[in-house]
Structure formats: structure tokens, C-alpha cells
Structure 1
Amino acid sequence: MAEQHMPRNAERIATAQGILAMCRDVKADVARLESETEALLATLEAGHETPVEARLQRTVQPSQHLREHRPGRPKKLAADPELRAFVEARFNQMTFEQIADEVAQNFPPERRVAKSAIHAWWHAHYKRK
């Protein structure tokens, strides 16, 4: 059978003293936590004498998109009034594809909208009128 290495007495004593020291530390931590818990419970039971009067102040007003509780990014036509006015002025005079071509000629690429976006905008805002 293989022999197990037994620590010498000095090592056993050092280990035992280390464990005792750690136990004392843990006991002190538990006592500190118990006293803090009691203080917290006393504070909570006492409560406030007067109500809290801190009012929330909104630093930035939410956009119309957020006020309507709409998820995601707003559509390009909703976010760009100039582009929206350009497109809406042509609804009764041109097809959606012709409007998309006019937008492509008059606006930079990052502001352009496709015929499907123009149709979706018309459908959401003008079809029922």
C-alpha cells in the first residue's frame, strides 16, 4: 500500500492555528453583520417621520415616437419633416415609384426612401381618409 504523507507536528500546529485564526475572523464578521442587520431593522421599523418629498424631474422630454410607445427606430419619413412634406405633396399626383425616383434625385443617399416605405407611410396615414 502506498504510504500517505503525514504532516509533521509543527505543520499540524501551524495549520491548526491558521484554521483557528480564520474561525475567529469569520466569527467577528458574523457579529458585525448581525449588528448591522439589527441597526437596519430598527431603522426600517421606525420609518420616516415625514414623507419623502423628492420630486422626479425629467431632464429631456421624450420624442413623439416614445410618447406613443412605439418600439424600435422611428421611420425616416417620421423623423425627417422636410422629406415627409416632399413625399406627401406628391401623393395625389404621382405613383409611389415616381415619388421614390423624385426623392432619389433631390435628396442625398442617407435620406432616401424606397417605394415600399412611401407606400407604407401612405397606407398608415392617408388610405383611410
Structure 2
Amino acid sequence: MAEQDIPSNADRRATAQGILAMCRDVRADVARIEREAEALLASLENGHEDAVKVPVQRPAQPSQHLREHRPGRPKKLAADPDLRAFVDARFNRMTFDQIADDVAQNFPPERQVKRSAIHDWYRRVYKRKYQSDPG
């Protein structure tokens, strides 16, 4: 063995002192953990003296977007506010066929909707309206 591989007495003492210091730290940690464990056991045996102070919270209501979410492309009436307002204004005084004819006269072909789309929109919107407000 070469002489540089053998640690000196001073190095061995420093290493031993470091190990002893770590042992003291571990003993202190174990004693602290034991004290905390005894305190927890005592509190479990004694029970809870105070009432729970955190109120129970109701789960958050889903947003309007989540309630109305539909996969795929939105309906023309849902995506076009002008067309939707035009159709909604006529629900109480015209039939679905008359509304479809009126839409065909006032909107370009790419924005027009047929009778079935108007009927579906009516059922979807007014069914929700009357379910939420029965009066």
C-alpha cells in the first residue's frame, strides 16, 4: 500500500467526530419524533374538544359552457348572434315554416337555416327556459 492511501490520525479523528456528531443529531431527532408521537396519541385518546371550524362547502356548479358543451361544430343559430336574435324575435308570432321563409328572404345562403334547425333551437332554448322558471 502506498503511504498516501493510509489516512492520518488527524483525519481519522475528524471522521470519528463527524460520525459522533451525526449520531447525536439522529438521537435528538428520534427523541423529538417520540415526543410528537406521544402528544398525538394523547390527543387521540382525549378526543376533539372543539367543534370543527371549517364550514362544509358545496361543490362548485359547472359553468354555463360545460352545461351547454356539445362536441363538434356549433349550430348556426348558436354561432350567429344576429341570426339567433332574428329567429328568437319571431318565435311567439310566427310558425317555424314562416320563420324559415323569413330567414331565407333576409339572410344570404351561407347564414340561412331550415325549419328543422329552427325547431331544434326552439326546443333546446325554451325547454331550458321553462325548466328553470316553471312560472
State the TM-score, normalized to the length of structure 1: 0.50
Looking at CA atoms only, which structure, 1 or 2, has the larger radius of gyration? 2
State the TM-score, normalized to the length of structure 2: 0.48
